[in-house]
Amino acid sequence: MNVIRARYLGMCFGVRDAIRLALQLPADPPVTILGDLVHNEFVLDRLRHRGIRSASTLEAVATPVVMITAHGASERVLCRARQGGFEVLEATCPLVRFAHRAAQELVRQGFRLLIVGQADHVEVRGITEDIESCDVILDAEDVERLEEHPRWGVISQTTQPVDRVLDRIERLRQRFPGSEVRWIDTVCRPTRQRQLAALELARRADVVIVAGGRHSNNTRELAATCRRWCPRVHAVQTADDLDPAWLEGASTVGLTAGTSTPDEIIDGVEARLRRLARADSPARMAALAR
Ligand code: SF4
């Protein structure tokens, strides 16, 4: 059995920089991260061990310094934090900042803002909270419930698959043929690279393993992308979650990972896959699994 890694996988520079910043902070003054720095339990545990807390709302922050994650925050929240006397550390990814600027620019030019993404995702909320009124859609059917506007300005959550965004734009054009539609592409390059690499991998593999946090949106998206080409796709948080039975009869196993998955986790999953690959029978696989 061969084990192959996707050409691009794992942590993006935005998340890596945010984690580095958090881990380099001195213990004093204490810092609270607003929300989850990354959607990965392994990393969050490491931060907790360093005494870095997190809070889901500004009201729950009890430290003098508050850190904004790579997913960003709205100007409204940043202002409230500063006015509340907090020192604000921003680890917002530059590509998320680009999406904020794109949204603001479209609104300034008089377009009705349409975001392709998850309405309740922290990154999307960071954009919508600063805009008086806009629409957020995810599924194809969501286009049907939109009301007509003469000018649509479209952006997307940075981690959305490009083909989904293009599909929703096409449906929008078909539903409102008389409307102008302007799209600013805000899908980030690391997401694009990982999605394309995952597709390539899924075409070549009999089984695909996707390593990432249970709550990570882009890990889920990667798994969904792989399922389009390979029916045997399994998501794991760590190497311990691997079930040797998943690999039975496979000659090629592919490995990919979400943008919040640390290298140690990916290496651990790969190492265990390689050990299982060396096993020459299901019985031996089962023995290795113990
Ligand atoms: S997924 Fe993209 S936008 Fe989000 S933090 Fe990573 S590089 Fe930045």
The pLDDT score that the predictor gives to residue 134 is 98
Residue type, 205: A
pLDDT digits (tens, 9 = 90+) for 47-82: 888 888 899 999 999 999 999 999 999 999 999 999
State which of 126, 159, 183 marks the end of a domain: 183
Q: 57 and 83: one domain?
A: yes
Instruction: Count structural domains, the chain.
Output: 3
pLDDT higher than 80, residue 192: yes
Ligand 1 is surrounded, with C-beta below 6 A, by 12-15, 70, 93, 95-96, 158-159, 188, 190-191, 259
pLDDT band at 286 (very low <50, low <70, confident <90, very high): low
Q: Which domain holds residue 252?
A: 2-9+189-289
Q: What's the CA-to-centroid distance between 250 and ligand 1, angstroms?
A: 33
Strands, DSSP E only, in the chain?
2-5, 31-34, 53-55, 65-68, 87-90, 112-116, 135-137, 151-156, 180-183, 207-211, 233-236, 252-257
Radius of gyration for the chain, computed over Cα atoms and rounded to the nearest angstrom: 21
Percent of the chain at pLDDT > 90 equals: 82
What is the residue-averaged pLDDT of the chain? 93
**Same structural domain, 195 and 277:** yes
Decide which of 151, 183, 215 is a domain's last residue: 183
Domain co-membership, 86 together with 99: no
Residue closest by Cα to atom 5 of ligand 1: 14
Which ligand 1 atom sits closest to the C-alpha of 218? 1
Ligand 1 centre to CA of 121 (Å) is 13
CATH number for the domain harbouring residue 194: 3.40.1010.20
Residue nearest to atom 8 of ligand 1 (CA): 14
Residues with a catalytic annotation lie at 123
Ligand 1 centre from 271 Cα, in Å?
A: 27
Of 130, 149, 183, the residue at which a domain comes to its end is 183
**Beta bridge mates, 154:** 114, 183
pTM: 0.89
User: CATH number for the domain including 52?
Assistant: 3.40.50.11270
> Which sign does the torsion angle of CA 288, 242, 272, 228 carry?
positive
pLDDT tens digits, 208-238 = 999 998 888 888 889 999 999 999 999 999 9
* Statement to judge: residues 275 and 197 lie in one domain: yes
159 and 195, same structural domain? no
For helices 41-49 and 13-24, angle between their N-to-C axes, nearest 10 degrees: 20
The pLDDT tens digits of the residues spanning 132-143 come to 999 999 999 999
* Distance from C-alpha of 244 to C-alpha of 225, rounded to nearest angstrom: 23
160 and 227 fall within a common domain? no
Q: How many whole angstroms separate alpha carbon 128 and alpha carbon 74? A: 8
Q: How far apart are CA 275 and CA 271, in angstroms?
A: 6
Ligand 1 centre distance from Cα of residue 268 (Å): 23
